[in-house]
Amino acid sequence: MEMPSARRNYERCDESTDSVKGMFILKKTNLQALLQEAIEKAKIVDHNEIEWKIEEESNRLAEKRFDVNHR
């Protein structure tokens, strides 16, 4: 894929980047496999535990911000 010359000059592309005279090499990525992996990782997350941690942190920050004193 070739970059327009104005953008190429703005980016100051040189030989150390993944470009050669304004040409970029695009790497093929299997998006379906990448998304499937993310879905599988999300399935093993304990959402109740995360929700509890978020609630506890929110309460802690609210108490600090509004200076709540417990009796």
- 39-66: pLDDT as tens digits: 999 999 999 999 999 999 999 999 998 8
Q: How many other C-beta atoms are found inside a 10 Å radius of the C-beta of residue 61?
A: 10
- Name every residue whose Cβ is closer than 8 Å to that of residue 32 and which is 6 or more positions away in sequence: none
Percent of the chain with pLDDT over 90: 41
Measured between alpha carbons, how far is 25 from 21 in angstroms, rounded to an integer? 11
Kindly report the number of other CB atoms within 10 A of residue 31's CB atom. Answer: 8
pLDDT of 20 over the 60 cut: no
Q: Which amino acid is at 28?
A: K
